[in-house]
Structure 1
């Protein structure tokens, strides 16, 4: 299935997965960019944003759990986030942390918060509509991980 065919399925979990990849890129870039500010609160939240980018990477690209040497407890924690509701909750928590950066002052972390919120909403819509999680084959979903093992 090509990327165009995946988007044509109108499955919100596919949209959420791709928004998750965009969120991961934004969290990585903005986490690094905001580490060099004066506000201690922004520095702490940007460090959390940076850590979130790596968590999102393992959530959205399941192939990496087979390739990268990680602990069994980390693998188990990531595998628990497999349903649409759990993914929506995980993105909701990450988004809430980024929205809390507004307590200190407005920064570019708002962009990460917006994308994390949009990703969580996509997964929540997929769960509410009863759509099963469908991983993108481009990102190592069904079939690709099986070919490696």
Structure 2
């Protein structure tokens, strides 16, 4: 299945996964950009950076095979295999970034919005009863198993 066919499949988990990739880039960039603020914004920018790395391992399963990680970390990441669990973690990360507005209005709002969109895509996939379908481009559906 090509990338265009994946987007035409109307499976919301594919949309959620690609929005998650956008979240990785956005959280990393905005985390670094906002780390130079004073006060509690630094805390939220560090959390945003940590979220970027968590999403990286959640959305690209191939990395669990090739990166040296602990078994506890692997078990934690594998909890987010279903659409509902992914929606929950994205929603939690989004709420944390929304809370950052109470400290100072910064560009972390963009991360909060995109994280919320990813959560809504995964929630829609769960509500519609669509099974999680990982993108082949990102190492899903057999690519990670070929490395074993």
Q: TM-score, normalised by structure 1?
A: 0.98
Runs of at least 5 residues in structure 2 that lack an aligned partner in the other structure: none
Structure 1 residue 12: deviation in Å? 0.2
CA root-mean-square deviation: 0.5
Runs of at least 5 residues in structure 1 that lack an aligned partner in the other structure: none
Tell me which residue corresponds to 1:69: 68
What are the equivalent positions in structure 2 for 1:65-104 lying under 5 Å apart?
65-104=64-103
Query: Runs ≥4 in structure 1, deviation > 4 angstroms?
Result: none
Aligned residues: 148
Q: TM-score, normalised by structure 2?
A: 0.99
SS of alignment partner, residue 69 of structure 1:
coil
> Alpha-carbon deviations, 1:87-146, whole Å to 9, x = none?
000000000000001001110000000000000000000000000000000000011112
**Matches of 1:104 and 1:145 in 2, distance apart?**
41
Tell me which residue corresponds to 2:27: 27
**Matches of 1:130 and 1:143 in 2, distance apart?**
22
**Matches of 1:63 and 1:107 in 2, distance apart?**
33
Structure 1 residue 41: deviation in Å? 1.4
**Matches of 1:48 and 1:118 in 2, distance apart?**
19
**Matches of 1:118 and 1:2 in 2, distance apart?**
24
Tell me which residue corresponds to 2:12: 12
